[in-house]
């Protein structure tokens, strides 16, 4: 079973370190997810999925904040600057390395491009700095786009849509407050606009009305399988 750092003692950490040198660090956000999902959606999804992981690996407490750009003007969204996210990630991984950990999976429930880019930048820095470190950056929605498209009825489903709503229905159903209208952002790419609410007022990308707990369970199985595959790659040869 996954070993959650906040739930063990230092002696238990030392003992577990004889069995694994791998740590998963979940990343989330405090970010709007329509009128029906909690601001913690991007955090609770990876953390709750990892509680079902049947493997000896450390799981660090999640970072509840991330880099949010398209949603930063919506009520409730609290974003970090990219540099803050890079500094946090860099410091945590260096300190965990000092404690004997060598393989790191950065698992992000938030798929924002700038957010993921920050994690990848730090990973690149650290594999240059330490010869025996291994780092993987995983955004399930990015890596599993084809598999998720086979589950979702909504074409081009994304933020607070069918898949994310299905996951929260499966993991924490009491936090789903009804539904939101089907919506898609209309940003005038490639422009970077100031008035983001004008182009995406409801903060939904997809059709949450088509969500179900059953679909959520199917997604959870796929994500867990992918996490296992990435962990096999990270730990291979040790």
- Residue by residue, DSSP assigns 47-75 as HHHHTT--S--EEPPPB-----STTTTST
- Greatest Cα pair distance, the chain, in angstroms, is 55
Query: CATH code at 155?
Result: 3.40.50.10310
The pTM assigned to this predicted structure is 0.95
- Note the residue count of the chain: 238
* Per-residue model confidence (pLDDT) at position 198: 96
Domain containing residue 201: 3-235
Per-residue pLDDT of the chain (238 residues; tens, 9 = 90+): 899 999 999 999 999 999 999 999 999 999 999 999 999 999 999 999 999 999 999 999 999 999 999 999 999 999 999 999 999 999 999 999 999 999 999 999 999 999 999 999 999 999 999 999 999 999 998 888 899 999 999 999 999 999 999 999 999 999 999 999 999 999 999 999 999 999 999 999 999 999 999 999 999 999 999 999 999 999 996 5
Distance CA 155, CA 179 (A): 18
Q: SS3 of 84, please?
A: helix
Q: What is the pLDDT at residue 33?
A: 98
The pLDDT value given to residue 238: 56
Alpha-carbon distance 114 to 118, whole Å? 6
Output the pLDDT for position 148: 92
Tokens of 47: 């953390």
| CA gap 140, 235 in Å, rounded | 19
The count of structural domains within the chain is: 1
Task: Give the phi and the psi of residue 123 in degrees, each rounded to 5.
Answer: -60, -45
CB atoms within 10 A of CB 175: 14
């Amino acid at each position: 079973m996954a070993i959650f750092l906040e739930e063990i003692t230092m002696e238990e950490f030392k003992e577990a370190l004889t069995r694994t040198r791998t740590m998963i660090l979940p990343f989330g956000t405090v970010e709007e997810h329509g009128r029906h999902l909690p601001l913690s959606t991007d955090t609770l999804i990876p953390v709750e999925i990892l509680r079902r992981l049947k493997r000896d690996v450390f799981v660090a407490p999640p970072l509840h904040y991330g880099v949010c750009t398209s949603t930063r003007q919506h009520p409730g969204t609290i974003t970090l600057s990219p540099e803050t996210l890079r500094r946090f990630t860099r410091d945590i991984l260096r300190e965990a390395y000092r404690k004997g950990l060598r393989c790191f999976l950065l698992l992000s429930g938030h798929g924002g491009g700038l957010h993921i880019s920050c994690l990848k930048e730090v990973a690149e820095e650290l594999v240059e700095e330490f010869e025996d470190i291994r780092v993987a950056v995983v955004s399930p929605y990015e890596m599993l786009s084809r598999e998720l498209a086979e589950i979702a009825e909504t074409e081009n489903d994304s933020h607070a849509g069918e898949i994310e709503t299905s996951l929260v229905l499966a993991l924490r159903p009491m936090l789903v407050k009804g539904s939101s209208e089907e919506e898609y952002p209309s940003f005038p790419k490639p422009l970077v606009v100031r008035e983001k609410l004008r182009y995406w007022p409801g903060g939904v990308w997809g059709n949450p009305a088509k969500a179900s707990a059953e679909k959520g369970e199917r997604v959870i199985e796929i994500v867990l399988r992918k996490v296992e595959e990435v962990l096999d790659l990270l730990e291979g040869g040790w």
